[in-house]
Amino acid sequence: MTKTECFGIPFDDGEPIEIIENALSLIGSDKGVYAVTPNPEIVMAAMKDPALREAILSADLILPDGVGMIWASKILGRPLYHRLPGIDFASGLMKELAERGGSVYLLGAKPGVAQLAGENLSRRFPGLRIAGTHHGYDSSTEETALTDEIRRSGAELLLVCLGSPRQELWMKSYSPVLPGVLMIGLGGALDVFSGRIRRAPLLWRRLGLEWLFRLLQEPKRITRMIRLPGILRAAMKERGRKKA
């Protein structure tokens, strides 16, 4: 596994099995650890938001998510050779945890979605213990009780699906009080795990068109999607500056 810097962010670049094994080794440490999976939209936001940028840089694992990051890295002349979408990363971890009777806590989405996702994941990964679920609509005054609940649950893995930048800021803030837990920021993954949103077929994913499949299911995302080419413009601009 190597570190490849793009836009000042040191991405972890490696084979999926290598990334997953590395992540599993972090579970049980004496401090809370977390992984982020920045896609182009998150990277662009981090260029303007110092708090988000700091939360990303403080992560124990930074994995490129979104084919746009792969394209941008090539323009920069520092290619990322492996893309591990956050949902595949989490699935790989849960598969390994299931084999040893491990546990996961699901946080985020609308009320009821995390519970449904947990039921589906239990069927998909026999042996995986769902330590608990909670929706993503708590106020800050309730989050101390939530972290106490997560700690008491014995969860080894915590999927934090609160959307960016909230999930990255949440993990940075609360990792100190969740020792031994590996957290992953996963945006709308619980909607997929619950079955509310269908994931793109494998061929679409291999062609780098998962974003288009998601857009066809949720046309309201168009306002977000039209900003994505900005990462390619930013890469060309940065490369031009370095050549000058």
Query: What's the Rg (C-alpha) of the chain?
Result: 18
The token duo for 35 is 């992984």
Give the single-character DSSP code of 111: T
Q: Which of these, 79, 90, 34, 85, lies nearest to 64 by C-alpha position?
A: 85
3-class secondary-structure state, position 196: coil
Question: Could you list the residue range(s) of the whole structural domain that residue 165 is in?
Answer: 2-243
6-61 pLDDT tens trace: 999 999 999 999 999 999 999 999 888 999 999 998 999 999 999 999 999 999 99
Q: Is the pLDDT of residue 177 over 80?
A: yes
User: What are the tens digits of pLDDT across the range 186-213?
Assistant: 999 999 999 998 877 777 777 677 767 7
* DSSP structure class, residue 219: G
Structural domains of the chain, count:
1
Q: Rounded to whole angstroms, how far apart are CA atoms 50 and 85?
A: 24
Q: How confident is the model at residue 140 (pLDDT cuts 50, 70, 90)?
A: low
